[in-house]
């Protein structure tokens, strides 16, 4: 393989990792605060649809992005009301969100646009264009480093850069701020937080608001950056893979980034391997290749992770006991 092929696989890795990373960080805020979030998938899907629909109607990618974030936030708050205020089962609240999103997006898409649940293809201004970083074209001629800068680092959508910046921001917030200290504490021992005079409920809502906004970014990425319009079940289980990545990364931001890059890489490789003729075996069926990242996810989670101990109070609604 030459440099160009490697670069193109790595380039695809970054593009495919981005929604995973955004969703993974979204889940990190929620789960670190003690709320299991299996509803990442549904929130992304709802956001993807809202972003695609609004961008198609208004012709503005920015309005689409804002709509995606707003819908994701509203969905998160619904899930939060069930899981925090009403002390419902967090798993079921998340599953409900996933089913709601899957059904509603298709139904509303068909009702509004009559294209089988899809939103209309976006015009030029309706989706985000790749950003060319300064001097990318000028430096492209420099051997090795030039192509790496101009093809791998430059030329991505805005949301890609936001995702990777959010890793550093999250690490800082989590470990260096009052908010982060309380967030971590509320997921480990909410009673300690309560007796310290901090509202557990408020802290948990603050956490899931961030989750909602980040899921909104992840969802919008599918329909108005990577894609051009919303398609049925467009997120294709990426929310679950993000959750797996979060567990694999032991709920830590920087490992989360590397895990998402690994999963993104597997996905990129999968695309590359389609129709690729292997020695002896010949052409492997597309379906088998497509299943590869998912199979590897299971293998990685089962085999290599060791004992993943999540936030101790995760999954348990907080009740002041007698």
C-alpha 288, offset from chain centre:
24
Q: Least distance in Å: CB of 202 to other proteins?
A: 12
DSSP states of 94-147: HHHHHHHHHHHHHHHHHHHH-STTPPPPP-GGGSPPPBPPTTHHHHTTSTTHHH
Single out the residue of 102, 115, 133, 188 in contact with other proteins (rule: CB under 8 A): 188
Nearer to other proteins, 151 or 194 (CB): 194
Residues in binding contact with other proteins, number by CB under 8 A: 23
Single out the residue of 1, 124, 302, 322 in contact with other proteins (rule: CB under 8 A): 322
Single out the residue of 111, 178, 302, 303 in contact with other proteins (rule: CB under 8 A): 178
In this structure, the number of other CB atoms found within 10 A of the CB of residue 59 comes to 14
Nearer to other proteins, 252 or 272 (CB): 252
Q: Least distance in Å: CB of 154 to other proteins?
A: 33
To which residue do tokens 């990577």 refer? 226
Q: For residue 33, state whether it binds other proteins (rule: CB under 8 A).
A: no
- Among 209, 159, 183, CA closest to 18: 159
Nearer to other proteins, 127 or 184 (CB): 184
Q: For residue 181, state whether it binds other proteins (rule: CB under 8 A).
A: yes
Q: Which run of H or E residues covers position 282?
A: strand 282-283
Query: Is the separation of the CB atoms in 168 and 146 below 8 Å?
Result: no
Single out the residue of 24, 46, 122, 185 in contact with other proteins (rule: CB under 8 A): 185
Alpha carbons 110 and 274: distance in angstroms, whole number: 32
Query: Is the separation of the CB atoms in 156 and 14 below 8 Å?
Result: yes
Nearer to other proteins, 168 or 295 (CB): 168
To which residue do tokens 């051009």 refer? 228
- Among 235, 299, 243, 265, CA closest to 101: 235
Q: For residue 202, state whether it binds other proteins (rule: CB under 8 A).
A: no
Q: For residue 70, state whether it binds other proteins (rule: CB under 8 A).
A: no
Q: For residue 198, state whether it binds other proteins (rule: CB under 8 A).
A: yes
Alpha carbons 296 and 301: distance in angstroms, whole number: 8
Site for other proteins in 157-176 (CB under 8 A): 175-176
Residues found near other proteins in the complex (CB under 8 A): 175-182, 184-185, 188-189, 191-198, 312, 320, 322
């Amino acid at each position: 393989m030459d440099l160009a092929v490697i670069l193109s696989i790595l380039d695809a890795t970054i593009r495919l990792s981005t929604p995973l990373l955004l969703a993974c960080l979204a889940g990190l805020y929620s789960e670190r605060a003690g709320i299991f979030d299996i509803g990442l998938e549904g929130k992304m899907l709802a956001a993807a649809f809202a972003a695609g629909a609004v961008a198609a109607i208004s012709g503005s990618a920015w309005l689409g992005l804002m709509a995606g974030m707003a819908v994701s936030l509203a969905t998160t708050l619904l899930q939060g009301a069930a899981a925090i205020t009403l002390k419902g089962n967090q798993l079921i609240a998340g599953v409900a969100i996933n089913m709601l999103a899957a059904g509603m997006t298709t139904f509303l898409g068909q009702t509004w646009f009559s294209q089988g649940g899809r939103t209309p293809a976006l015009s030029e201004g309706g989706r985000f264009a790749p950003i060319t970083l300064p001097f990318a074209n000028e430096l492209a001629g420099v051997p090795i480093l030039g192509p790496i800068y101009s093809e791998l680092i430059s030329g991505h959508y805005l949301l890609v850069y936001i995702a990777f910046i959010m890793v550093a921001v999250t690490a800082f917030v989590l470990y260096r701020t009052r908010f982060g200290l309380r967030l971590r504490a509320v997921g480990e021992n909410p009673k300690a937080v309560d007796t310290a005079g901090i509202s557990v409920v408020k802290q948990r809502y603050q956490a899931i608001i961030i989750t909602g906004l980040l899921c909104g970014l992840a969802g919008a990425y599918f329909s108005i950056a990577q894609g051009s319009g919303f398609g049925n079940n467009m997120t294709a289980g990426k929310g679950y893979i993000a959750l797996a990545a979060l567990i694999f990364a032991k709920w830590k931001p920087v490992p989360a980034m590397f895990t998402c890059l690994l999963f993104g890489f597997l996905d990129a490789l999968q695309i590359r391997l389609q129709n690729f003729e292997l020695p002896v075996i010949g052409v492997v069926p597309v379906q088998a290749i497509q299943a590869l990242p998912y199979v590897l996810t299971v293998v990685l989670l089962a085999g290599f992770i060791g004992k993943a101990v999540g936030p101790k109070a995760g999954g348990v609604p907080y009740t002041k006991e007698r």
